[in-house]
C-alpha cells in the first residue's frame, strides 16, 4: 500500500490514492480522537473525491463498495482486491459512470452499518444498471474497521451466499 509515517502530529499517516491503478492523490489519517471529531481525513489540494473511486474494479462483474480508505484496507488485508472506497457515504454520478464503464453490474454494499450507510445503500438501489446486495453485518459491527479476521470471514461467507442465491433467482427469471 506504500503508506508513510509523516512528522506532522495531527495527521501522522499518509496513503496514496489510486483509482484502478492510476495515482490520484494522497490522504492523511489522524489517529487523535480530538482531531477526528473535526476531520478524520485530510486530502491534498486539488483532489476530488467525487471523481475518484479509491481501489480496484472491473476485474469481476461485482465490486465491494465501502465508505473510507481504512475500510478498504480491511478487505485488502484479507485478500479481497475488488473493493472501492467512495470516500464518503453516497456514490457520485462520476463514480457510478466509472463502474458501469468498467463492466461492473453488481455492487455489494459494505457502507457503514449506521444511518448514513443505510441511506447510501438505499441510494445505490435507485441507480439503474446495478444489482445491490447488502453486506451481512454481525451485531455490534459498525464498519470494516471493527471486524476481526474471524468475523470478517463469517460476514463474507454469509454475504456471498446471499449474493449467489440472488443471482440464481435472477437467472431463472430470465429464462
List, for residues 82-121, the tens digit of each pLDDT value.
999 999 999 999 999 999 999 999 999 999 999 999 999 9
pLDDT at 40: 85
- DSSP summary character for residue 7: S
Cα 13 from Cα 11, distance rounded (Å): 6
Q: Residue 87: what are its φ and ψ, rounded to 5°?
A: 65, 40
* C-alpha separations of 160 from 9, 22, 32, 74, 175 in Å: 41, 29, 35, 17, 23
Q: What angle do CA 75, 126, 155 make, to 5 degrees?
A: 25
Q: Which helix (H) or strand (E) holds 173?
A: helix 149-174
pLDDT at 3: 79
pLDDT at 173: 52
Beta strands in 93-157 (DSSP E): 106-109, 131-134
Residues of the chain with pLDDT under 50: 174-175
Amino acid at each position: 500500500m506504500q503508506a508513510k509515517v509523516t512528522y506532522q502530529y495531527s495527521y501522522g499517516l499518509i496513503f496514496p490514492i489510486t483509482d484502478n491503478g492510476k495515482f490520484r492523490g494522497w490522504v492523511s489519517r489522524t489517529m487523535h480522537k480530538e482531531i477526528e471529531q473535526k476531520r478524520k481525513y485530510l486530502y491534498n489540494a486539488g483532489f476530488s473525491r467525487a471523481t475518484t473511486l479509491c481501489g480496484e474494479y472491473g476485474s469481476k462483474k461485482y465490486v465491494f463498495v465501502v465508505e473510507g480508505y481504512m475500510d478498504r484496507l480491511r478487505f485488502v488485508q484479507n485478500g479481497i482486491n475488488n473493493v472501492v472506497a467512495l470516500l464518503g457515504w453516497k456514490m457520485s454520478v462520476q463514480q457510478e459512470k466509472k463502474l458501469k464503464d468498467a463492466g461492473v453490474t453488481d455492487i455489494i454494499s459494505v457502507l457503514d452499518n449506521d444511518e448514513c450507510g443505510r441511506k447510501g445503500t438505499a441510494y445505490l438501489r435507485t441507480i439503474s444498471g446495478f444489482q445491490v446486495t447488502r453486506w451481512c453485518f454481525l451485531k455490534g459491527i459498525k464498519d470494516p474497521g471493527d471486524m476481526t479476521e474471524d468475523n470478517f470471514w463469517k460476514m463474507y461467507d454469509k454475504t456471498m451466499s446471499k449474493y449467489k442465491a440472488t443471482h440464481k433467482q435472477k437467472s431463472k427469471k430470465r429464462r
